[in-house]
Amino acid sequence: MIDLNNLGVIAGKELRDALRNRWFVVFTLAFAGLALALSALIQPGGTQIRMMSYNRTAASLINLGLLFVPLIGLTLGAANLAGDRETGALVYLLSQPVNRMEVLIGKYLGMAGALLATLSLGFGGAGAALALQGSIQDAGGYLLTVLLAYLLALAMLSLGFWVSAAAHKTAAALGGALFLWLFLVFIGDLGIMGTTAAMQIPIETVFLIAVLNPLQMFKIAAILTIQASLEVLGPAGLYATDRFGALLLPLLLAGLLTWIILPLAGAVILFARQEKFILKGNAR
């Protein structure tokens, strides 16, 4: 059983610690600045700045989200348990009247709150600037893109916690998180394109491989929310539109939710099995 009071205390402490972390502040300011910058265009004839529409801003922020959101989610999650294990804070926490699930879920909720605050500041600043310019006619697609970015962030945080539960050193956890980030962002896309060209894989298989990547789920769903055509994704995009139609977006949302739940469940299982190791390792 989970005690909600214990959960709230642990989550609150994690949230406060994250907000005081200088690297978290740097991430937050960087993302907010980039999001605001992407929402503006410099007129070619001078220095006057004009704000883009919500849909054009959302389209610009998709690529920023694909790079930034996985990086911060994976690294923050990976450094959490592994860092506390090395400093001894985890042993102290486990010696209190709390169970292992309360510790891990509480830590996850606290880090999730901090991560969503970062995204809210960036997207909110860009959205407020557009609203002040009167560009509110297509705000719905922008808000849906923000929601998708939240889901992607939580999925990457879950994956980061799974890495942190599996690694016993902070350096190993961060190394694993950075490898996953590179694989999902760069190697995944390039590998799919290269394999498709070399082996002439059927288009339905290419699409299936692509959507196993949560970043590709986010990308396809975000394009749909701004009412853009999936033709920009090539034959795979056309196949997805023809095959699934209106069901495609709900399926992608379900896929992102699955990426939130499964890695977090895996982290809970790993962490539960490591309790004796953690206590004995620090006792030595």
Q: Give pLDDT tens digits for 184-222.
A: 887 666 556 556 655 666 777 777 777 888 998 898 888
Long-range contacts of 117-121 (CB under 8 A, 24+ apart): 117/19, 117/28, 118/24, 118/27, 118/28, 118/31, 118/32, 118/72, 119/31, 119/69, 119/146, 119/149, 119/150, 119/153, 121/28, 121/31, 121/32
pLDDT digits (tens, 9 = 90+) for 259-270: 999 999 999 999
More confidently predicted of 123 and 173: 173
| pTM of the predicted structure, to 2 decimals | 0.86
Q: Check pLDDT > 60 for residue 275.
A: no
DSSP string, 47-89: S-EEEPPHHHHHHHHHHHHHHHHHHHHHHHHHHHHHHHHHHTH
What distances in angstroms separate CA 73 from CA 35, 133, 156, 161, 282, one per listed residue?
Answer: 17, 32, 5, 9, 28
Q: Check pLDDT > 80 for residue 58.
A: no
Q: What is the DSSP letter of 21?
A: -
Q: Per the structure block, which two tokens stand in for 235?
A: 């034959």
**Distance (Å, whole) CA 280 – CA 12:** 28
With a pLDDT cut of 90, the percent of the chain lying above it is 28
